[in-house]
Amino acid sequence: MSPRNILVINCGSSSIKFALVAEGCSRFALSGIAERLGSPEAVLRVREYGSEECLPMPRASHAQALARLLPLARLAAGGELHGVGHRVVHGGEHFTRACRIDAQVVGTIRATIGLAPLHNPGALAGIEAVLELFPALPQVAVFDTAFHQTLPEHAYRYALPDALYREHGIRRYGFHGTSHRCVSQRAAALCELPIEDSCWLSAHLGNGSSTCAIRDGRSRDTSMGLTPLEGLAMGTRSGDVDPNLHLHLARTLDWSMERIERLLNHESGLLGLSGLSNDMRTLEQARAEGHPGATLAIEVFCYRLAKSLAAMSCALPRIDGLIFTGGIGENSPLVRSLTVAHLRVLGFALDEQANESRGKGLGRAIQAAGSPRVLVVPTAEEEMIALDTLALLG
């Protein structure tokens, strides 16, 4: 039987990232992004066999971009597309695993928009556009939150009146679940440990960042909460602040809710602290040239990451390894080194030479002798979404 082809789609509010995944193949036949959707600069960038084509689509909507993309994907798939796997950020408490998309699932995702107003409308636009263009093409939704539905109640509840949870769903949900699931499975395979009897601390560090404690293949705690703002300092997100900050800014500076939302989501984190950039590569270079803001931003990022990992260790009976993943986790020896230096109390230490060495593949160990494992494991969210989709196609 020839390999089946799944188009993996990640719809944001104004972008669609995509990858065409062939069953059993880790290289994408086609990938790219449609960005600035809705604006005059909207563009579809398609990478195929190493070359990139840039197709301007002024003011294109999600549906129009998908109408252009789907035939290209079908062509690249040799004429047959077997399904579409959608990354959906928020599944609330409704979805504990991936599921085939039907009218009921669309309705439930729509009902969850209140919990993820910045993220779920994009995913819905993508799902509905595919439904309209290719009604017979099977679609699967893979939720960022689903992996964390195994959190125990003491980990997912806020210390708030019960009614806010019971009547309004206010609780910690967690995100990046597909990535934490992927790298914990890969780490277990790498170390030849059964996933169902293994304990991992995982740090997914990209523009958004989160930590996770994974016991026996199940998420037991994670740093993001009701929304992806809670927890670590991120590219432009503040992560944890004193909850009274909102009141303080409103009272003392007369700031509106929208102004505060923009501050915490788009002007804070590495960008806010450094006054320079949200991009770790830029900050590392500036730090090397003595930029004080970049130096501070990286120090805060690593210290708070270490603090979060130490907190996550409370959810585990033992630690089989600490996993670094995501653009920063996979590529920044500096961040790994500064972070692990704060975790000596848990026995962690790095082999700095191994930490500095570059290498691709399933993953590699970088701990010093006598330390619990520290692993650099590339995440593969698109492949996980494609695998989940294939599993549901039967």
Which residues sit opposite 202 in a β-bridge? 212, 323
Determine the distance from the C-alpha atom of residue 169 to the mean position of all C-alpha atoms in its chain, rounded to a whole number: 22
Sole binder of ligand ADP in the list 97, 166, 251, 281 (CB under 6 A):
281
Joined together, the tokens standing for residue 283 give 């900050």
3-state secondary structure of 390: helix
Residue type, 374: V
- Helix locations, 172-224, DSSP H: 177-190
CA distance 329 to 246: 31
Q: Within 202-241, which residues bind ligand ADP (CB under 6 A)?
A: 206-208, 235
Shortest CB 218 distance to ligand ADP, Å: 24
Q: Which residue number, 338 or 346, has a Cβ lying nearer to ligand ADP?
A: 338
With CB under 6 A as the contact rule, which of the stretches 41-49, 84-92, 127-135, 325-333 interacts with ligand ADP? 325-333
Q: Does the footprint of ligand ADP cover residue 284 (CB under 6 A)?
A: yes
Minimum CB–partner distance for residue 111 and ligand ADP (Å): 27
In angstroms, the Cα distances linking 346 to 180, 218, 252, 307 are: 21, 22, 41, 11
Q: Where do we find the tokens 């188009």? A: 7
CB of 194 to ligand ADP, least distance (A): 28
**Token pair recorded at residue 119:** 């993220």
155 vs 286, beta carbon nearer ligand ADP = 286
Is 216 catalytic? The answer is no
The one among 279, 300, 337, 341 contacting ligand ADP by CB under 6 A: 279
CA dist., res. 269 & res. 302, Å (int):
12
Cβ-contact 99, 86 below 8 angstroms: no
Query: Which one from 102, 144, 162, 254 is the annotated catalytic residue?
Result: 144
Closer residue to ligand ADP in complex, CB, 32/208: 208
Q: Which is nearer to ligand ADP, 83 or 231 (CB)?
A: 231
Q: Closest CB to ligand ADP belongs to which residue?
A: 327
Q: How far is CA 114 from each of CA 160, 204, 386, rounded to the nearest angstrom?
A: 19, 25, 27
326 binds ligand ADP (CB under 6 A): yes
Question: Which of 114-140 are b and which e, b meaning 16 or more Cβ less than 10 Å from the residue's Cβ?
Answer: ebbeebbbbbbbbbbbbbeebeeebbb
Q: How far is the CB of 129 from ligand ADP (least distance, A)?
A: 23
Q: Is 280 in the site for ligand ADP (CB under 6 A)?
A: yes
Q: Rule CB under 6 A: say whether 328 interacts with ligand ADP.
A: yes
Rounded to a whole number of angstroms, the minimum distance from the CB of residue 75 to ligand ADP is: 27
Closest by alpha carbon to 85, among 389, 387, 383? Answer: 389
Question: To the nearest whole angstrom, how small is the minimum distance from the Cβ of residue 288 to ligand ADP?
Answer: 12
Find the part of the chain contacting ligand ADP (CB under 6 A) among 83-91, 104-112, 241-249, 276-284: 276-284
The residues of the shown chain that bind ligand ADP, judged by CB under 6 A, are 206-208, 235, 279-281, 284, 326-328, 331-332
Residues with catalytic function: 144
